[in-house]
């Protein structure tokens, strides 16, 4: 995965920060210039929010890792990037129910965080809707509440490389081959990426083009891996059949 910085080890899993993560704070400093005299305040608050978001992403990936451990699957490491995290499992179970639970565990963590923060804000008498004005860190709980709910819903999109894509594959794999299920989820990912690219180009959010390309290429990679896996299984079956004669 290129150069990375080891942060810690949790539950036997090494946690790394990918070098591209530093693009995010650099971009924050860049956009904060528009706030004039408040630029440093805005920069500090946004970087603090970035750290909180990265922590939630880490908990999300740990959800995948701990659920995978229940099925005897170990996790090589977890890598935090500026556009999310990656829990690298040694292998993904091809039993649909197991893959579904491992994939859903991550978004479920975000949902639980959102519900917890919602309870804290509600019972403390605060508003569950963030203010449109910039008020510093006093709105951190409600902001992170909605961030985690967005992460929960975003990851349920039924398209690779989101968790919803793997959940979709696990559901389809109950009625068709694992390869065909992967292709359908992969095509869904590529279509989603294509529509996203059209949107960000139309809105002139050019930096977000990288996210669209990442999603598109990740979906293609998943389909390629499934194709190689299917070819390998066919060769093994052919060799086994030949050996019986």
Note the pLDDT tens digit of each residue in 89-136. Answer: 888 787 889 999 999 999 999 999 999 999 998 888 888 887 766 555
Mean pLDDT over residues 218-239, rounded?
A: 56
176, part of any domain: yes
164, part of any domain: yes
231, part of any domain: yes
pTM above 0.85, yes or no: no
Mean pLDDT over residues 179-206, rounded?
A: 81
pLDDT surpassing 50 at residue 57: yes
- Ranges 25-34, 54-63, 222-231, most confident: 54-63
Task: For strands 4-10 and 84-89, give the pairing.
Answer: unpaired
DSSP H or E stretch at residue 85: strand 84-89
128, part of any domain: no
43, part of any domain: no
**For residue 3, how many C-alpha atoms fall within 13 Å in the half-sphere facing its CB?**
4
Q: Which of 61, 203, 222, 233 is catalytic?
A: 61
pLDDT surpassing 70 at residue 242: no
Q: How many domains does the chain have?
A: 1
Answer yes or no: are the C-beta atoms of 90 and 75 closer than 8 Å: yes
230, part of any domain: yes
Using the 8-state DSSP alphabet, how is residue 88 labeled? E
Range of the domain at 219: 157-238
- Return all residues near 141 (Cβ < 8 A) that are at least 6 apart: 117, 120, 121, 126
What was the pLDDT predicted at 3?
A: 76
Which is more confident, 136 or 169?
A: 169
Which of the four pLDDT bands, split at 50, 70 and 90, describes residue 44?
A: confident
Cα 46 to Cα 107: distance, rounded to the nearest angstrom: 23
Helix axes 96-123, 163-172, angle to 10 degrees: 140
214, part of any domain: yes
What was the pLDDT predicted at 132?
A: 64
What does R_g of the chain's alpha carbons equal in angstroms? Answer: 21
211, part of any domain: yes
Active site residue 203: no
DSSP helix/strand/coil, 156:
coil
């Amino acid at each position: 995965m290129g150069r990375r910085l080891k942060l810690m080890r949790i539950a036997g899993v090494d946690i790394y920060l990918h070098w591209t993560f530093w693009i995010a704070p650099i971009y924050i400093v860049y956009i904060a210039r528009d706030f004039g005299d408040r630029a440093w305040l805005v920069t500090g608050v946004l970087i603090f929010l970035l750290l909180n978001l990265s922590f939630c992403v880490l908990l999300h990936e740990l959800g995948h890792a701990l659920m995978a451990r229940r099925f005897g699957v170990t996790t090589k490491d977890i890598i935090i990037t500026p556009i999310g995290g990656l829990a690298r499992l040694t292998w993904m179970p091809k039993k649909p129910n197991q893959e579904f639970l491992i994939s859903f565990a991550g978004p479920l963590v975000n949902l639980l965080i959102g519900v917890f923060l919602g309870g804290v804000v509600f019972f403390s008498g605060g508003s569950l809707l963030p203010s449109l004005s910039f008020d510093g860190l006093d709105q951190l709980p409600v902001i992170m509440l909605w961030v985690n709910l967005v992460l929960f819903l975003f990851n349920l999109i039924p398209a690779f490389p989101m968790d919803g894509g793997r959940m979709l594959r696990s559901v389809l794999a109950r009625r068709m081959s694992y390869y065909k299920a992967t292709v359908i989820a992969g095509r869904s990912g590529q279509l989603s990426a294509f529509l996203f690219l059209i949107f960000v180009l139309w809105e002139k959010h050019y930096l977000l083009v990288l996210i669209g390309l990442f999603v598109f290429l990740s979906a293609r990679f998943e389909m390629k891996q499934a194709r190689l896996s299917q070819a390998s299984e066919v060769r093994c079956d052919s060799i086994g059949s030949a050996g019986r004669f």
